[in-house]
Amino acid sequence: METIRQLINDNKTDEALHLLDEYIKKNDSDDEAYYLRGNVYRKMGDIRQALNNYLMAIELNPDSPAQTAYNAQIKILDFYNKDMYNH
């Protein structure tokens, strides 16, 4: 996982995503992998996929840091989409 974290920090998102996809195929109950994949998707601008991965991590481990990431993304979406609620 350290290699994947470094790739994410270096903005090598395509490479990190590929490694995470392969890892999750073999380790589908690792909440950290879903959390990291959520971070990759967030960096790539795919918020829907990021949220889906955060939710999977939370389902596997309610104490996952994905809970904080998920809540932050929802607050950001609510802020940017608040006008949708006023129509």
Output the pTM of the full model.
0.88
DSSP letters for 8-70: HHTT-HHHHHHHHHHHHHH-TT-HHHHHHHHHHHHHHT-HHHHHHHHHHHHHH-TTSTHHHHH
Would you state the CATH architecture of domain 2-85? Alpha Horseshoe (1.25)
Give the rounded percent of residues in the chain with a pLDDT score beyond 70.
93
Domain residue extents for the chain? 2-85
For residue 12, pLDDT beyond 90: yes
Position with higher pLDDT, 66 vs 79: 66
For residue 87, pLDDT beyond 90: no
